[in-house]
Amino acid sequence: MSIEKRKTPIFHYGITIFLAALLFVCVFSLDSKNPLDRLRRDWLGAKGVGTTIEEKEKINTKDLVPPQVVRITTTDFHDDNFVMMIQKAAMDDKRVILTDVNEAFAAPNSMLDLFLESFHNGDNITHLLDHLIIVAMDQKAFEKCKSVHHYCYLHEDIGTDLRSENVYMSEAYIDLVWTKVRLWQLILEQGYSFLFTDVDVMWFRDPFRHISVYPDLTIGTDRFFGNPEDHNNDPNTGIVFAKPTRKNIEVLKYWREARQRFPTEHEQTVYYQIKYELSSKFDLKVQYVSTEYWGNFCQLQKNFTKLSSFHPCCLIGLEKKIAQIKIITDEWKMYKNQTNQS
């Protein structure tokens, strides 16, 4: 009898260890064949280097926060045609890419042409155009879009003439930039995540390589000070990624409502004013991406071994931006040719 009593706890320990090991294997196998892969990707994304091209094929929908089917219509705008376009353009894991354009930026040899060309000149990113929705702010921009792209949406419910260049900080410019936030909210309400990019951003590499799993929002920066979680970074909402969560929908609602407190400011300045409020009120987690990877002229770091995009912010005037973008594009092509030859 004494021998049997000594064997019982050993048997129980064995069963416990076996079940714990089985649970460990099951949990981690959901995310990756190598349980350390996801941890490494989260850390790299937080540092602004995200997933390398070589690792990209390892990522599937289980590595991303699952889209929540929320479908709450809380915006003052809803269009079934736009919703259907989101569904058609979305990736398998319900991500879409979005930009907007008006007549001036859609003119021949203007921003829209350079923007689309950048995907063809980039490092194996042409396929991302299959998931890009271009929002046209006027009829001529819509006609141009249809001649060069397959997902074009005419946003007629605006109430302001947005055809011209819209000089920075003019009333029309303010209306233009706030329009995109309303569209962001609608996309999230349908259960889709989005990557928004201004049409004057040139893309060289996959933008998702710099987006980590942990944050609610991922935002570009004018100036980056080393810590991707630090709200002291200067945000640039020309590139924004958001997951379709109820929290993010409430954040966008709060952001849009804050316009009433700052009626003469564009959405980026208002975000800057309320970013600490968003953090405390919603426990919002934000990842700010280094200008080493999403580059610009505000904090120029033109290292093509690291750059995934370039945004001519801190330049005012369409002609000046186009001229500088062409220079950057030519430099990227030279770098790419040299790399391919070596």
Q: What is the DSSP string of 83-95?
A: HHHHHHH--TTSE
CB atoms within 10 A of CB 33: 8
pLDDT of residue 11: 53
Which of the two residues, 78 and 182, has the higher pLDDT score?
182
pLDDT of residue 248: 97
The answer to whether 35 and 28 have CB atoms below 8 angstroms apart is: yes
43 pLDDT more than 60: no
Which of the two residues, 213 and 124, has the higher pLDDT score?
124
147 pLDDT more than 60: yes
CA dihedral of residues 327, 331, 332, 333 (deg, nearest 10): 100
Q: Give the mean pLDDT of 247-262.
A: 94
The answer to whether 298 and 313 have CB atoms below 8 angstroms apart is: yes
The answer to whether 210 and 258 have CB atoms below 8 angstroms apart is: no
Confidence of residue 100 (pLDDT cuts 50, 70, 90): very high
Helices 111-121 & 318-341 angle (0-180, nearest 10): 10
pLDDT of residue 30: 37
The answer to whether 269 and 237 have CB atoms below 8 angstroms apart is: no
pLDDT of residue 63: 38
pLDDT of residue 37: 41
Which of the two residues, 340 and 306, has the higher pLDDT score?
306
Nearest to 199 by CA among 165, 224, 233, 223: 165
Q: Where are the domains of the chain?
A: 67-341
264 pLDDT more than 90: no
Nearest to 195 by CA among 89, 76, 121, 74: 89
Helices 171-189 & 246-257 angle (0-180, nearest 10): 160
Q: What is the pLDDT of residues 187-201, one digit of tens each?
A: 999 999 999 999 999
**Residues pairing with 23 in the sheet:** none
Q: Give the mean pLDDT of 66-85.
A: 63
Round to whole Å and give the CA distance between 165 and 101: 10
Nearest to 56 by CA among 229, 218, 206, 219: 206
Least confident among 8-17, 163-172, 317-326: 163-172
pLDDT of residue 174: 74
Q: What is the pLDDT of residues 50-73, one digit of tens each?
A: 443 334 333 333 334 344 444 444
Confidence of residue 162 (pLDDT cuts 50, 70, 90): very low
CATH topology of domain 67-341: Spore Coat Polysaccharide Biosynthesis Protein SpsA; Chain A (3.90.550)
List CB contacts of 290: < 8 A, sequence separation 6 or more.
48, 221, 224, 228
pLDDT of residue 46: 39
pLDDT of residue 173: 62
pLDDT of residue 263: 85
pLDDT of residue 324: 95
